[in-house]
Amino acid sequence: MSHWNHRVFKETLPDGGDWYTVREVFYNKDDSIYAHTEEAADISGRSIGEIREYTQWVLACLDKPVLVVGEVEFVDGEDNED
């Protein structure tokens, strides 16, 4: 089954500085990436509990390598509807 998680992305601003965002990343069964969101994750929910849970998912991505916008290699060709 395919899966997703949050990851930190780095991109270079026009002034040469770095900008970091947290985005959702979607994986194939073999853990290759087939997509990610264009926009940063929005921490919101129907309750404080949902926000707390979502925040924990986002914090977990800080322990993973940073991905660079424009350098992520997408792998398609697998049925990701499972």
- Residue pLDDT, tens place only, 32-76: 999 999 999 999 999 999 999 999 999 999 999 999 999 999 998
Residue 36 domain-assigned?
Answer: yes
Range of the domain at 55: 3-68
Residue 79 domain-assigned?
Answer: no
Total tally of structural domains belonging to the chain:
1
Residue 73 domain-assigned?
Answer: no
Residue 82 domain-assigned?
Answer: no
Q: Would you place residue 15 in the very low, low, confident or very high pLDDT band (cuts 50, 70, 90)?
A: very high
Residue 51 domain-assigned?
Answer: yes
pLDDT computed for residue 69 by the predictor: 95
Residue 78 domain-assigned?
Answer: no
Residue 76 domain-assigned?
Answer: no
State how far the alpha carbon of 44 is from the alpha carbons of 14, 47, 52, 55, in Å.
30, 8, 9, 9
Q: Is 25 exposed, middle or buried (0-12, 13-18, 19+ CB in 10 A)?
A: buried
Q: What are phi and psi of 77, to 5 degrees?
A: 105, 10
| Sheet with 67-68: strands ordered across | 33-36, 18-27, 3-12, 67-68
Q: What is the pTM of this model?
A: 0.84
